[in-house]
Amino acid sequence: MNTYVFILIAIIVLGIPSIILVYRFPKIRFVFQLIFAVLIVLFGYLLYRNINRPIKFEKELEIRRTAAIQRLKDVRTIQVSFKDKYGKYTGSFDTLINFVKNDSIEISKFIETGPWNQDEMTKEEALKKGILKKIPAYIMASDSLWNNPTYPIERIRYIPFSGDVEFTIGSGELETASKVKVQLFECYAKYSDLLKGMDKQLVVNYIDERTKYGGFEGLKVGSLEEATNNAGNWEK
């Protein structure tokens, strides 16, 4: 029952008989004053909770969305680096985590073999003329992706606030109309997992609102059905 309706009914049900009783028995006025004082406090609390409920939900929602989006961005960063080295994405968190912990990424170093005036000649021109020489070098993937030795890479598979429910991850290949094969990946968290433990009715309302016009019922980066340039659905 709606809180406001409950309060209105309570006032009508209790108020009218109380007025009659106090009129007939003035000595019990104090008892009813005490009862109504308690009821006013109770109704005030119910009103506050009802008003504060969606505000609290929105604040918690934003915290959880921000955490999940950042983790999806981190997955995307690793996937792009993995594809740069191996030519495809992976549908395995074990592979991604092992890549960050134990694999290396090639970086480019350049040495000058002759005089190079950067104001008169671009790097590409200097490379073509042999004035610059490109030398491959390698660094650990973890050092290349982010400068944070305490980054909890083992936790990247889990949806924040979900009680260790894993993101769904997948990879694949799509042939375009022009017969070009495009490598794809996707990673997503359903709102039902991300918002676990929050107000159930408000969660249902939020999911209905997000999916009403064909939207995905969660946060998602990439797609296995179309080439999206690895965009997140929060970026659209």
- Supply the pLDDT for residue 115: 82
Q: Does 107 fall in a domain?
A: no
**Enclosing domain of residue 12:** 3-53
Q: Does 19 fall in a domain?
A: yes
Q: Does 39 fall in a domain?
A: yes
CA 172 vs. chain centroid, Å, equals 23
Average pLDDT, the chain: 84
Neighbours of 181 (CB within 10 A): 9
Q: Does 65 fall in a domain?
A: no
E strand map for 22-162: 104-112, 132-140
What's at 16, amino acid-wise?
I
Question: CA 131 to CA 125: how far, in whole Å?
Answer: 9
What is the number of domains present in the chain?
1
Please answer whether residues 108 and 134 qualify as being in contact, where contact means their C-beta atoms are separated by less than 8 angstroms.
Answer: yes
pTM: 0.74
Question: CA 129 to CA 132: how far, in whole Å?
Answer: 8
Q: Does 41 fall in a domain?
A: yes
Q: Does 31 fall in a domain?
A: yes
- Cα–Cα separations (whole angstroms), residue 95 to 78, 79, 87, 98, 153: 10, 10, 14, 5, 12
- Supply the pLDDT for residue 13: 64
Q: Does 37 fall in a domain?
A: yes
Please answer whether residues 162 and 195 qualify as being in contact, where contact means their C-beta atoms are separated by less than 8 angstroms.
Answer: no
Higher-confidence residue of 63 and 9: namely 63
Q: Tell me the per-residue pLDDT of 24-36, one tens digit each, with 9 for 90 and over.
A: 666 666 666 666 6
Q: How confident is the model at residue 80 (pLDDT cuts 50, 70, 90)?
A: very high
Q: Does 111 fall in a domain?
A: no
